Amino acid sequence: MTGKFLSLNDAEYAVFVSQLRQANERLNAFNFIDENKKSGKIISVKDNICVKGMPATASSKILQGYTPGFNATAIQRLEDNGFSVIGKTNMDEFGFGSFGLNSEHPAKNPFNEEYVAGGSSSGSAVATALIKEHVSIAESTGGSISAPAAFCGVVGLTPTYGAISRYGLIDYASSLDKIGFIGKSADNIREVMEKTVGSDPKDTTSLSTAISNKNSHKLYVIDNLMGGIDEGIKDRFEELLVRLSTKDYKIEHVKIDYLEYSVPAYYILSMSEASTNLAKYQGFKYGFKVKDFSLNYNDFFMSARKQFGREAKRRVILGTFIRSKSIKQKYYEKALAIRHAIIARMKNFLKDGFIIMPSMPIFTPKISEVSDISPVEAYSMDMLTVPPNLCGFPHMSFPYFYERGMPLGAQIITDHFNDYSLLDFLSEWEIGFKYKFKEEIG
């Protein structure tokens, strides 16, 4: 099927951009909005994905001033098929965060500005909630699509690792990063995905495996992941399971070993890779330039790298420590082994069904409350989104309930390269679930 997307004439476009800028002043969804008239279907793009002629900062001061002269492969494929980019969306710096607050101007939740938008694809989720018939091209490493989609009441699809080229993505952790989509409908997401999947000679991690839609009416609930979830979230999730069971879905409760190690394994691997990938930002090539060449070696590079935010510095330091010769075998190699063990165990269930769980273990927190959460506690908020991301399984967060005036999301996981089955599930869900957004532009 073909989805609906905004396509505006000159007068409509001027009004649209004006309304979008006004909303952006309140919600900080965009780092950059292009006022030039767009022909074709309007999409937005997360600010760590390169769009020719538009700033690409990954919400980091160290990349201020960087404007790529090329498109990421995913963007080029979409532009070749009649899509136009309206702007670059806000995010946690380099993708480091679950709440969207690791940005100079944090995004705010469209349902209530006192609440977080989720991260790291915060701006993509807010933009999608605001704009009619919209899809934002986002990216996930450990939950960066599912978390903001859940908090902002939209749909977030994270594809199989390797299904979509990462060429033109400002990397965080190369073995984990996945370009994906945040949208409102199955048809819209399906259309952009069909135009972007496929191997790319510019990205050796992209794969040519065909995407299937092997469907199932069996849903597995992982009981040993439910322990750390807010009791209110559990209650609402149980109501969802009852509702699905009336639609001929068979619910089975299971235990999957080693999942309790997924979060520490993920952060060991992701921080290690982040410290390597961020090493290239040294004041010479990209964005921030150190102009005082009289400085000694250490002071020169310190002048550049002090532009990193607090969380980026934390991850670079920890990742460098983990990769050190005396520590690597103790932590890094064990994390790799845990990842492979979890993949094998999850596949045992995904071969004949879906795994379903809440997207986030807590209700959407207020911005003021997050300052009381320690870094370790913040990392633990990824307990539900990390397993599929660590293993490269396709997964999708979809809105299913309102609680305290805020949306709740549930996450469904399937086997590698069975991505379209998630959209089939969403299409079926949409038939009986009428969802109204509070505010839309366009």
What is the DSSP code string of 383-439?
TTTHHHHHHT--EEEEEEEEETTEEEEEEEE--TT-HHHHHHHHHHHHHH-----S-
d(CA 104, CA 108): 12
pLDDT of residue 441: 82
Decide: 354 and 425 in contact? Cβ < 8 Å. Answer: yes
- Looking at residue 114, what is its pLDDT? 97
Give the 3-state secondary structure of 95-144. Answer: HCCCCCCCCCCCCECCCCCCEECCCCCHHHHHHHHHECCCEEEEEECCCC
For residue 145 the two structure tokens come to 């699509």
Report which of 138, 59, 48 is spatially closest to residue 104, judged by C-alpha positions. Answer: 59
> One of 38, 41, 44, 46 is an active-site residue; which one?
46
Return the pLDDT at 432.
74
> How far is residue 313's CA from residue 206's CA, in Å, rounded to a whole number?
29
Q: What is the pLDDT of residue 321?
A: 95
Which pLDDT does position 438 carry in this prediction? 57
pLDDT value of position 218: 98
**Annotated active-site residue in 124, 144, 216, 421:** 144
Distance of CA 189 to CAs 32, 156, 407, Å? 23, 9, 20
Q: Write out the chain's pLDDT in tens, 442 residues.
A: 577 898 888 889 999 999 999 999 999 999 999 998 888 899 999 999 999 999 999 999 999 999 999 999 999 999 999 999 999 999 999 999 999 999 999 999 999 999 999 999 999 999 999 999 999 999 999 999 999 999 999 999 999 999 999 999 999 999 999 999 999 999 999 999 999 999 999 999 999 999 999 999 999 999 999 999 999 999 999 999 999 999 899 999 999 999 999 999 999 999 999 999 999 998 887 788 888 888 998 898 888 899 999 999 999 999 999 999 889 989 999 999 999 999 999 999 999 999 999 999 999 999 999 988 999 999 999 999 999 999 999 999 999 998 888 999 999 999 999 999 999 999 999 987 655 555 678 7
Active site residue 144: yes
The one catalytic residue in 103, 120, 165, 216 is 120
Q: How many CA atoms lie within 13 A of 42 on its CB side?
A: 27
CA 38/CA 16 separation, integer angstroms: 11
Cα 350 to Cα 341: distance, rounded to the nearest angstrom: 14
CATH superfamily of 10-214+358-365+381-432: Amidase signature (AS) domain (3.90.1300.10)
409: its two tokens: 């999301």
| DSSP category for residue 279 | G
Structure tokens at 243: 């509702």
Whether 120 is catalytic is yes
421 is catalytic: no
Q: Where are the domains of the chain?
A: 10-214+358-365+381-432
Q: Do 397 and 151 meet the contact criterion of CB atoms below 8 Å apart?
A: no
Q: Which two tokens stand for residue 221?
A: 């609930």
The residues near 40 (Cβ < 8 Å, ≥ 6 apart) are 7, 82, 83, 84
Find, among 132, 134, 98, 133, the residue nearest to 117 by Cα: 98
